[in-house]
Structure 1
């Protein structure tokens, strides 16, 4: 595996972070601020650098590149595989009548083939149902194939997210990359660092990702009561107090970020589905716990590897970045401490992380977590 990494800030030229070299038909992962990706010349400019590259774009809430976290920029990680192959497929939600389950299922069908080991999914983050996207992929994929990735982001603006393959970034797009080969090895893990507190309540009225009632009482009223004076800071303060959701059908609980509130309907709009009759509980954290979670996820992924990992993909939640603030770099540094020297690190801050729970196979939509994927060939 050979890699090249570049970065570009506003009104600056592209800067190589690694030695410049020619790659043969590489996978080119382009992560960047949404405003940068709206440039009508962006695809053409990167195609000049990698004329034979398979170029995949995703807007982000910040980029992990090398050993750092960078904002208001575009970063490129170009990867040439020497013993493995890959295939890129895409679908637009508008072509499925906004059916995220169908989109996920159709993407997997396009990628199925001999020696498929891994699927990396980079999805629209504005109006996709991330839970249903993961369910659709799980419904179609073989049990031995790992799926990880994330929902594209728009920093903390929540206005527009962009994804594309070999064209200018666009709305509604979902891109999936399949990796094939006997020598290809991939592992992943995810961890959050959050602690549940307060009483456990039952979801008595919900629809998709809208939560209306807990214990037959308006959920938003209960949530505001727990926040006290901080409730005046909604919806922003909700990033600091997500919900733990445990459904009747699943053994492990999920963290769900509260994206917005609707006072007219006394509803809370969460970043993933809230099943009826599931159990809900408030969560809290601190900076040290978030940083330790990054280390834990990285160690768990590394412990599963047989060979030495060559590439680390880190997908963390924009909510974590807002909480960590000046200490955001620390969760990347903790991952780096665990990983072997010489590994290429890249990733982004997302509106939702896609990965299985530790020691499970089926991918899930997560919020407020660090998802680590390690790759070698």
Structure 2
């Protein structure tokens, strides 16, 4: 989308050759214009240095190029697994800066804090920090807390944790023409026009609520003073069965919703311990939290995508949207399946109209508009720019 003074473009390629894929997607997104920033979301299967070199050739020497590896890619013309999606923006009224921090050097919280320093000196009336972080290093919530410790409540956070291969050994983050792993990339984006953020998932509560009576990090030991695995088995009519049967495939996703002022913050429960009777989530579950088991049918998941897009557009105060960056959960992709992915993309296109969008399937989503917490799962986070 383009106004007389600013623009946003999106491109997508499923070409097997990495240089060709990068060139195709970047050419579609940039269209001969001069970008301020180019977001690159690419499968780990690609030759990432070759792909980024091809993007740089289209973007020019002065554009900021940033991105991450994916569990799948989102674009105007649909979703893919093994491709590349590119979003680019430029024109008047944008300020962009970036900083990379290494988790192994500083720890998760400090890496998030260092990445947030990209925002230093950005004085635009509207701003957001986009975080693209390693998705396998553990304690993802600490990255968000670190960024919040620097920015406080004044600057919203969005983004996603990078995806990797089936062996889950590495994920990758990009800044400039360099490929990192075990890193957090912070992209400060300032704008003289409004920025909208959508957060929705389509899951609903299953009563009764419970209290997390003992937990540490993502491991929950007790719910309502009972062993957490026993509670989950009973609520699924599986008393006496081994934990593995609860988590046998993506269609049997177990989800817990933590109470928040604006709804539920979803946590995927992906494993259980038959000996200590605990369950394990993909992010922190605070002791003392009020929570519910969560459920969703196919139609509700699709509606969640629509709601996220509409909420992001609503945040633009009536301004014409230029484009959208989307961070969708890889587990949503698995739950929906190939046909459902196409349906989700069609629903997003219906909600966004002609507004271009680019994004990726993540191993965890980032969105903090209120409060210090901001890690999500099974959620679509959208960032709309005017």
- TM-score w.r.t. the length of structure 1 is 0.87
Structure 2 match to 1:219: 228
Is 1:83 matched up with 2:96? no
CA 1:363 to 1:308, structure 2 compared with 1: closer, same or farther past 3 Å?
A: farther
- How far has the Cα of 1:64 moved from its partner? 0.7
Contact 1:354–1:363 (8 Å) recurs in 2: no
Structure 2 match to 1:103: 111
Structure 2 match to 1:309: 321
Distance in 1 separating the partners of 2:283 and 2:170? 18
CA 1:214 to 1:10, structure 2 compared with 1: closer, same or farther past 3 Å?
A: same
Q: Which runs of 5+ in 1 are unaligned?
A: none
Is 1:161 matched up with 2:171? yes
- How far has the Cα of 1:286 moved from its partner? 0.7
Report the secondary structure of 1:153's partner residue.
coil
Distance in 2 separating the partners of 1:265 and 1:91? 36
- How far has the Cα of 1:21 moved from its partner? 3.3
Deviation string, structure 1 residues 20-40 (Cα, Å, up to 9, x no partner): 733335412111222225x55
Is 1:136 matched up with 2:146? yes
CA 1:355 to 1:19, structure 2 compared with 1: closer, same or farther past 3 Å?
A: closer
Contact 2:141–2:373 (8 Å) recurs in 1: no
Is 1:5 matched up with 2:14? no
Contact 2:244–2:272 (8 Å) recurs in 1: no
| Count of residues in Structure 1 that have an aligned counterpart in Structure 2 | 367
**Residues 61-80 of structure 1 correspond to what in structure 2 (within 5 A)?**
61-80=71-90
**Residues 176-325 of structure 1 correspond to what in structure 2 (within 5 A)?**
176-181=186-191, 183-227=192-236, 228=238, 232=245, 234=247, 236-237=249-250, 240-246=253-259, 252-306=263-317, 307-325=319-337
Structure 2 match to 1:373: 383
CA 1:239 to 1:349, structure 2 compared with 1: closer, same or farther past 3 Å?
A: farther
CA 1:266 to 1:142, structure 2 compared with 1: closer, same or farther past 3 Å?
A: closer
Structure 2 counterpart of 1:126, from 124, 130, 136: 136
Distance in 2 separating the partners of 1:304 and 1:218? 42
- How far has the Cα of 1:312 moved from its partner? 0.8
Structure 1 counterpart of 2:52, from 37, 43, 62: 43
Distance in 2 separating the partners of 1:131 and 1:89? 19
- How far has the Cα of 1:44 moved from its partner? 3.2
Deviation string, structure 1 residues 115-136 (Cα, Å, up to 9, x no partner): 2411111111111422222222
Deviation string, structure 1 residues 226-266 (Cα, Å, up to 9, x no partner): 3327952525358622111238xx67531101233344543
> More deviation in 232-241 or 167-176?
232-241
CA 1:22 to 1:94, structure 2 compared with 1: closer, same or farther past 3 Å?
A: same
Distance in 1 separating the partners of 2:217 and 2:147? 18
Distance in 1 separating the partners of 2:86 and 2:305? 23
Structure 1 counterpart of 2:362, from 347, 350, 360: 350
Contact 2:103–2:183 (8 Å) recurs in 1: yes
> More deviation in 204-213 or 25-34?
25-34
Distance in 2 separating the partners of 1:90 and 1:268? 33
Contact 1:118–1:147 (8 Å) recurs in 2: yes
- How far has the Cα of 1:68 moved from its partner? 0.8
- How far has the Cα of 1:10 moved from its partner? 1.7
CA 1:238 to 1:104, structure 2 compared with 1: closer, same or farther past 3 Å?
A: farther
Contact 1:235–1:258 (8 Å) recurs in 2: no
Distance in 2 separating the partners of 1:33 and 1:10? 11
Report the secondary structure of 2:321's partner residue.
coil
> More deviation in 22-31 or 289-298?
22-31
What RMSD in Å do the two structures reach over aligned CA positions?
2.7
Q: Which runs of 5+ in 2 are unaligned?
A: 1-5
Report the secondary structure of 1:309's partner residue.
coil
Deviation string, structure 1 residues 85-120 (Cα, Å, up to 9, x no partner): 211111010121x2x222222222342224241111
> More deviation in 314-323 or 164-173?
164-173
